[in-house]
Structure formats: C-alpha cells, structure tokens
C-alpha cells in the first residue's frame, strides 16, 4: 500500500478565518495521505474542522497555506493551480451528502444523467451510463421513479450513483448514513466499500455515526483543527 501514489495528499494544510483578535484557526498544519481502496473516517465534534477539511479536499474552500495533491496532481500550493475549479471537481471528485439533494422534478435516471450532460455526454450515452450505475447499485428498477416515491435507502443509493457518474477516484461523503437505520447504513457503507475496490477509489467519510465505525479502514479525529490518528 505504501508504495502506491496517494489519491489524496495533504501537506501542512492550514485554514483560518478572520484576522487579528477575531481570527479562528479551523485547521492547523494537517498532513494526510489517502490511498486507493481506502475508506477513511473523519470524526470530531462540531466546529473541529471536519467540514472545512472536506471542503478543501473538494476544492470548494481555499486553504490559507499548505499543499493539496489529488491523483498525483498538485492543485493547491499557496494558490490554486487550476483556473477552472468546477472542471477539476467534475473530473476528479464525487460528493455524497446526508440529504440526498435529488432534484424532485427529475427521475432517478435523469438525476444522474444531468451530471453527465455537464461533462459533455450526449443524451443516449448519459442515459446508458446512468442506467449502468443504477444497476450496479441494485436500484435499476427505480430508474423512472421520482425522489418522492423512493425510500431513504433508495434515494441515498441514487445519490451515490450520481456521485459516481464521472468515475471519480475521490469520493467525499458528509454524514452519508446519519438519516438511515442500522441496516440501511450498513448497506450504504458496503456499497462505498465496493466502489473503493472496484474503481480503485479513495473514500473520505465525515461521520458521527458509531454504527459504521467498524466499516472504516482508518479513523482520524479532528480536535481544535489538529488531526489525530485514532486507529
């Protein structure tokens, strides 16, 4: 494992908000490598920096200092090295959230296909890829269903399918099981494990959900902006 190139490499990453007496240090010199096939957990109390770190890895929030590398590409080193961060996210990163955030006026298939249209797929190719993902996650029979008719577990699977649309090597999940019971939470985590192995991907899960801890390869704790290796 250690001879592999990490999919996510963070070196001495810091993030602060404000200046002077009002300055808040959200992250303090965080360093972390995450490799293919790993499912990593980020734990910590509210305000510890978990979401800040996830948003920096997702190229949504700019660090104050440090280096961020994704798939071997240095994307931040004192400044963003890509001019089009939207394209960078589309190429490299899939996002999964606690709320599935599916568009209510689109079917399950259309919710996935819309991401592929943004990436330049034509309608036929987008629909084909969307159906393949639904089948892969065992909800292919719900392709023409609207979000309002889906169970919580089905909606989360479709949200995962949407996150995987462009075959990202990096998947960032913010409390993906918080709204699910133990059985459905286990199913979602097993699906993320399958994705990590099948696609040689790195999965980062921000969670407070103790029932999924045993499904994480490694757990890191954030306290006062500093990263601690918990397991």
CA–CA gap between residue 100 and residue 16 (Å, rounded): 29
Give the CA distances from residue 108 to residues 123, 145, 178, in Å, rounded to whole numbers and listed in that order.
15, 6, 21
pLDDT tens digits for range 43-100: 988 778 888 999 999 999 999 999 999 999 999 999 999 999 998 998 899 998 877 8
The three-state secondary structure class of 225 is coil
- Cβ proximity of 54 and 93 under 8 Å: no
What pLDDT is stored for residue 21 in this prediction? Answer: 82
Query: Where do the structural domains in the chain lie, given as residue ranges?
Result: 8-77+84-229
pLDDT tens digits for range 166-211: 889 999 999 888 877 888 888 888 888 988 999 899 999 998 888 8
Q: Which of 132, 154, 140, 146 is nearest to 103 (CA)?
A: 146
Q: Within 13 Å and on the Cβ side, how many CA atoms surround 94?
A: 27
CA–CA gap between residue 187 and residue 206 (Å, rounded): 17
Q: Which fold has domain 8-77+84-229?
A: Rossmann fold (3.40.50)
pTM confidence score: 0.88
């Amino acid at each position: 494992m250690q001879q592999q190139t990490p999919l996510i490499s963070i070196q001495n990453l810091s993030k602060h908000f404000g200046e002077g007496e009002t300055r808040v240090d959200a992250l303090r010199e965080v360093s972390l490598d995450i490799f293919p096939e790993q499912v990593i957990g980020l734990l910590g109390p509210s305000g510890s920096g978990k979401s800040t770190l996830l948003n920096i890895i997702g190229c949504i929030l700019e660090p104050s200092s440090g280096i961020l590398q994704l798939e071997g590409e240095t994307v931040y080193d004192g400044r963003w090295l890509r001019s089009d961060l939207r394209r960078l996210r589309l190429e490299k990163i899939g996002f999964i959230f606690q709320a599935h955030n599916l568009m209510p006026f689109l079917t399950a298939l259309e919710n996935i296909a819309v991401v592929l249209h943004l990436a330049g797929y034509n309608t036929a190719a987008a629909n084909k890829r969307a159906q393949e993902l639904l089948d892969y996650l065992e909800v292919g029979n719900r392709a023409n269903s609207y979000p309002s008719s889906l169970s919580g577990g089905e909606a989360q699977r479709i949200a995962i399918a949407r996150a995987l649309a462009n075959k990202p090597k990096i998947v960032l999940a913010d409390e993906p099981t918080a709204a699910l019971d133990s059985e459905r939470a286990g199913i979602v985590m097993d699906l993320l494990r399958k994705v990590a192995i099948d696609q040689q991907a790195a999965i980062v899960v921000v969670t407070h959900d103790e029932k999924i801890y045993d499904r994480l390869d490694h757990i890191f704790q954030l306290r006062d902006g500093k990263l601690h290796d918990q397991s």
